[in-house]
Amino acid sequence: MLVIKRKVSESIMIGDDIEIIISEISQDKVKLAINAPREIKITRKELAETCEFNITASEKIDKNSLDNIKNRLKNTEK
């Protein structure tokens, strides 16, 4: 892992076409501005992890569990 100190308005380059600019620093937060080509997908890590967890969880559910959930939902609607 590379660790770099930067001040507000300073930036780093990733490759030739991705620039990360320090936009604002306040107490415990840093605001970043990212200049990158549109075809580069940029996602916050916690969202990517949640998405991966949801996909894994949905692949593990079996038909009996799904039927059980469906029946419980029907019973609560009455």
Question: What does the pLDDT look like over 5-52, one tens digit per residue?
Answer: 999 999 999 999 999 999 999 999 999 999 999 999 999 999 989 988
Number of DSSP helices (H) and strands (E) in the chain, helices first: 2, 3
Q: What is the pTM of this model?
A: 0.64
CA-to-CA dists, residue 39 to 7, 18, 36, 54, angstroms = 28, 11, 8, 25
In this prediction, residue 78 has a pLDDT band, given cuts at 50, 70 and 90, of: low
